[in-house]
Structure 1
Amino acid sequence: MNQKLNIAICSYRSATFGGGQGIFVFELSKALNHLGHHVDVISGPPYPKLENNIQLIKSPGLDLFSTFNFKERLKIFLGKKNKSSDDWYEFISALFGGFPELKTFGNRAKTLLDESSYDIVIDNQSLSYGMINIQKNLPLIEIIHHPITKDYQYDIQFSKGVIQKISKWRWFSFLKMQKKVSQNLKVISTPSHNSKNDIAKDFGVLEKNISVIPNGIDHASFTPILDIRRVPAQIITTASADVPLKGLDFTLYAVARLKEDFPQLKLVIIGASRPGGHTERLIKRLQIDQNILYRSNLTRHEIAVEYAKSNVAIVSSLYEGFGFPAGEAMSCAIPLIATDVASIPEITQSYAELIPAKNSNAIELAIRKIFASPETYQLRAEAGRTHIIQNFDWQKIAKLYEDLIYKTIDEFQC
């Protein structure tokens, strides 16, 4: 089979700048479209940025997590006309600390797809009950970047006190649904062999139902910018504020010690700070306010510029299903320090300085080594960019998805 298809990509939220969801949806829809397929994206808010010839079909969620202020959430809810049962569920569940978007998105997506003429549906990790019903009528591929059990594990581990643990338990209550749904899906794709093993173990999914297709890296945007001079002693990392899984604390402890020998040291954090949050308090306690620069809502070119200014990139994650920041740093040919956990070694191979997770001493030592011998590590970084281009090009990745799509359609029709 090599016919051109009508493809629907579902994504419960697709923020352009927050996390990898919006990046993944943009790149996959673009790459499949460039292969000649018609692609629509069905997304809840926040909505993705898409290429002009790809249609966005908005799923009318309430987007309650655009704010954590009760009055503002109430205003959003009361302002919604013709409220559905999903609207009521979404508001009440969020009111009591849950994350209902996954379940309600699946229900709304099923309604949108009931009368559709798509050849196949690709769902980006909602793992909602609606996907089981969609699968009865249409071929379905479920993307699971990694099991969210890992996020839950680390959030509980780093929680302080019973109240915080209860809050985390309530937030991650959707995991029961995700486990049940994943066991009933026929075709699952994940971006790393490590994620495949974890999905099979944590969700109880048969390995034969899981295909491994890596994510691609936009190496045309994430590219070295040779006319930009590197800022002395500037390092860079990507981290969502106060997300334990990203391991930012350990980089901050390393910065606190390094600034004694490198007082001009600057850590650029690609991401937004959370006012009054754990990370902000730690920065103040370590007295490194002057050494930290936050940059958020950047375009890809602007991120590449920040990489070009920096001497070292750090990925201190405790877990990654794939790890876009590692691939993007390598694509920009900047010396990379990364933790040797989960999928990260699959991406970096031998082109990064791999260190143990949760180890600020290892981060400090690796930075000192690169500062002491920049030319040696730059040569490895340039070889790393070649590795990314050869193995993580989106057009090559799209062909792998296309093969899985044709196979899924054939098996559905049998």
Structure 2
Amino acid sequence: MEARVKSRKTKSNGEPLNICLLTYRGNPSCGGQGIYIKHLSKALREIGHNVDVVSGPPYPELEDGVTLYRIPSLDLYNPENLFRIPTLRELKSPINLLEWLDVSSGGFPEPLTFSIRAYKFFKQRHGYYDIVHDNQCLAYGILKIKELGYPTVATIHHPITVDRQTEIKSADVWWKKLKVMRWYSFIGMQKRVSRRMSRIITVSNRSKHDISSEFNIPPGRFRVVANGVNTDIFHPLDGIKRDENHIIVTNSADTPLKGLKYLLEAIASIRRKRQDIKLTVIGKPKKGGVIEKLVRELGISSHVHFTGRIRDEEFSHYYATATMAVVPSLYEGFGLPAGEAMACKVPVISTMGGALPEVVGDAGILVPPGNARELEKAILYLLDHPQERSRLAEKGYTRVTNHFTWTNAALKHVEVYKEAINDYG
């Protein structure tokens, strides 16, 4: 698709905005940021706005009508060619050299190097957009884009300092702790850049509070816009019998913040009372990693099934066969897995980590994070009370359809965009 060449000007209330979404990596398989870009861009387009996405690799999957501009990089984290050695020709570029040196020394340069490349892109297209929306890149190139005269907002999904703290705590030797600190060394840059944003979108009140505190940003700059749940993928399926004693969890298995360790410990304890307990993990553990070892040590290999990556259309089927879903996270800035399970009419047990209580509300059972015993008690309670499972399933479904749609999210994003545009006069 060709670029739309339009000058920014004051818009009437009904006139479409020309919106540019920025994301340093955009594929949904990479996590929540890719899901956010895919569904927000679609919803903004559906309510009548013009949307472009500028992304680094791996690139997003976008709907028809949304234009993608690819910003190539060395792509050193591509799993099909992990940590490849760039050619000398590639390293003649100062940005490529910076990227390679940072990765080689244990850093994570993608936000910074993407932002510099994106700035060059915008210099060639000055004035084409009414609003630029940064998806948690928060790097110095974003400030240069602002200096070109673009009204700019940023989304921060949750304070990434929480990830750093959890991984440092989980590291069992000093050199691993140093390695974690080096990886997260970009956080200082993100704090500095975010403080210079006049409008910051975040996905929950808990994230707003924690980002404000961790990044030292005045609370008045934040606008809370909850994520939506894609009900084209996550919806109830009729005619499928639920398995007895079958628990499901969507999890980045070896990420300490996701708390899978505590759910596995709960399953190990439940197994002594119920030999037919089953846990399906939508995800894949790292080979030889902490989770794979823990499953073996707990003696529950025959009770735990890891699906690996699955197709979108398979999610609803997995949920339809489950007795319940569990979200064991230590912290979530929003908690899409809880909303997705509720959209499938599956009763949910969730921790109170981060913003999960805002998503689940009174439509699920909430337990303290990092507590295997409380997870076990909640699971056993629901296994023994089928009527309560049915009640929570209905209540969760209603909650998602009333509160967490991408159309509502898009409309609220546009309100924030117009605030930022008005700030620029």
Per the TM alignment, residue 408 of structure 1 is displaced from its structure 2 partner at its CA by: 1.1
Matches of 1:316 and 1:274, distance apart in 2: 18
Q: Of 132, 139, 155, which residue of structure 2 is paired with 1:121?
A: 132
In the other structure, the counterpart of 1:22 is 34
Matches of 1:292 and 1:44, distance apart in 2: 35
Q: Contact 1:246/1:319 (CA < 8 Å) preserved in 2?
A: yes
Q: Contact 2:236/2:320 (CA < 8 Å) preserved in 1?
A: yes
Per the TM alignment, residue 200 of structure 1 is displaced from its structure 2 partner at its CA by: 0.8
Q: Of 141, 145, 154, which residue of structure 2 is paired with 1:130?
A: 141
Matches of 1:335 and 1:238, distance apart in 2: 14
In the alignment, structure 1 residue 180 sits paired with structure 2 residue 189: no
Matches of 2:18 and 2:311, distance apart in 1: 30
Matches of 2:89 and 2:67, distance apart in 1: 24
In the alignment, structure 1 residue 99 sits paired with structure 2 residue 111: no
In the other structure, the counterpart of 2:83 is 73
Per the TM alignment, residue 299 of structure 1 is displaced from its structure 2 partner at its CA by: 2.8
Structure 2, unmatched stretches of 5+, are 1-12
Matches of 1:68 and 1:53, distance apart in 2: 30
Matches of 2:323 and 2:210, distance apart in 1: 34
In the other structure, the counterpart of 2:157 is 145
Matches of 1:41 and 1:3, distance apart in 2: 20
Q: Contact 2:22/2:135 (CA < 8 Å) preserved in 1?
A: yes
Q: Contact 1:219/1:388 (CA < 8 Å) preserved in 2?
A: no
Structure 1 segments of 4+ aligned residues over 3 angstroms from their partners: 79-83
Partner of 2:83, secondary structure, is helix
Structure 2 matches for 1:124-273, cutoff 5 A?
A: 124-136=135-147, 137-273=149-285
Q: Of 74, 88, 91, which residue of structure 2 is paired with 1:62?
A: 74
Per the TM alignment, residue 141 of structure 1 is displaced from its structure 2 partner at its CA by: 1.0
Are the structure 2 counterparts of residues 233 and 252 from structure 1 closer, same or farther at C-alpha, using a change threshold of 3 Å?
same
In the alignment, structure 1 residue 49 sits paired with structure 2 residue 58: no
Q: Contact 1:241/1:273 (CA < 8 Å) preserved in 2?
A: yes
State TM-score, norm by structure 2.
0.94
Per the TM alignment, residue 125 of structure 1 is displaced from its structure 2 partner at its CA by: 0.3
Per the TM alignment, residue 221 of structure 1 is displaced from its structure 2 partner at its CA by: 2.1
Are the structure 2 counterparts of residues 284 and 377 from structure 1 closer, same or farther at C-alpha, using a change threshold of 3 Å?
same
Are the structure 2 counterparts of residues 80 and 187 from structure 1 closer, same or farther at C-alpha, using a change threshold of 3 Å?
farther
Per the TM alignment, residue 80 of structure 1 is displaced from its structure 2 partner at its CA by: 6.5
Per the TM alignment, residue 383 of structure 1 is displaced from its structure 2 partner at its CA by: 1.4
Per the TM alignment, residue 211 of structure 1 is displaced from its structure 2 partner at its CA by: 0.7
Per the TM alignment, residue 64 of structure 1 is displaced from its structure 2 partner at its CA by: 1.0
Are the structure 2 counterparts of residues 80 and 278 from structure 1 closer, same or farther at C-alpha, using a change threshold of 3 Å?
farther
Matches of 1:291 and 1:402, distance apart in 2: 47
In the alignment, structure 1 residue 85 sits paired with structure 2 residue 94: yes
Matches of 2:98 and 2:79, distance apart in 1: 18
The alignment covers a number of residue pairs equal to 410
Q: Of 342, 346, 363, which residue of structure 1 is paired with 2:358?
A: 346
Matches of 2:390 and 2:263, distance apart in 1: 21
State TM-score, norm by structure 1.
0.96
Q: Contact 2:348/2:392 (CA < 8 Å) preserved in 1?
A: no
Q: Contact 1:17/1:298 (CA < 8 Å) preserved in 2?
A: no
Q: Contact 2:201/2:223 (CA < 8 Å) preserved in 1?
A: yes
Structure 2 matches for 1:374-393, cutoff 5 A?
A: 374-393=386-405
In the alignment, structure 1 residue 329 sits paired with structure 2 residue 341: yes
Q: Contact 1:316/1:339 (CA < 8 Å) preserved in 2?
A: yes
Partner of 1:10, secondary structure, is strand
Matches of 1:284 and 1:80, distance apart in 2: 47
Are the structure 2 counterparts of residues 292 and 83 from structure 1 closer, same or farther at C-alpha, using a change threshold of 3 Å?
farther
Q: Contact 2:139/2:190 (CA < 8 Å) preserved in 1?
A: yes
Per the TM alignment, residue 84 of structure 1 is displaced from its structure 2 partner at its CA by: 2.0
Matches of 1:66 and 1:347, distance apart in 2: 33
Structure 1, unmatched stretches of 5+, are none
Matches of 2:92 and 2:279, distance apart in 1: 46
Residues 359-394 of structure 1 deviation map (CA, whole Å, 9 limit, x = unaligned): 001111111111101222212211111111111111
Matches of 1:209 and 1:288, distance apart in 2: 48
Are the structure 2 counterparts of residues 225 and 79 from structure 1 closer, same or farther at C-alpha, using a change threshold of 3 Å?
farther
Residues 169-195 of structure 1 deviation map (CA, whole Å, 9 limit, x = unaligned): 000000110111111111110010111
Matches of 1:28 and 1:202, distance apart in 2: 26
Stretch deviating more after TM superposition (55-64 or 310-319): 55-64
Q: Of 1, 8, 18, which residue of structure 2 is paired with 1:6?
A: 18
Q: Contact 1:107/1:130 (CA < 8 Å) preserved in 2?
A: yes
In the other structure, the counterpart of 2:293 is 281
Residues 283-331 of structure 1 deviation map (CA, whole Å, 9 limit, x = unaligned): 1111111111112332332111111111110101110011110110111
In the other structure, the counterpart of 1:109 is 118
Matches of 1:80 and 1:254, distance apart in 2: 53
Matches of 2:265 and 2:237, distance apart in 1: 30
Are the structure 2 counterparts of residues 79 and 29 from structure 1 closer, same or farther at C-alpha, using a change threshold of 3 Å?
farther
Q: Contact 2:90/2:96 (CA < 8 Å) preserved in 1?
A: no
In the other structure, the counterpart of 1:406 is 418
Are the structure 2 counterparts of residues 196 and 286 from structure 1 closer, same or farther at C-alpha, using a change threshold of 3 Å?
same
Q: Contact 2:226/2:404 (CA < 8 Å) preserved in 1?
A: yes
* Alpha-carbon RMSD: 1.5
Q: Contact 2:208/2:219 (CA < 8 Å) preserved in 1?
A: yes
- % same residue: 38
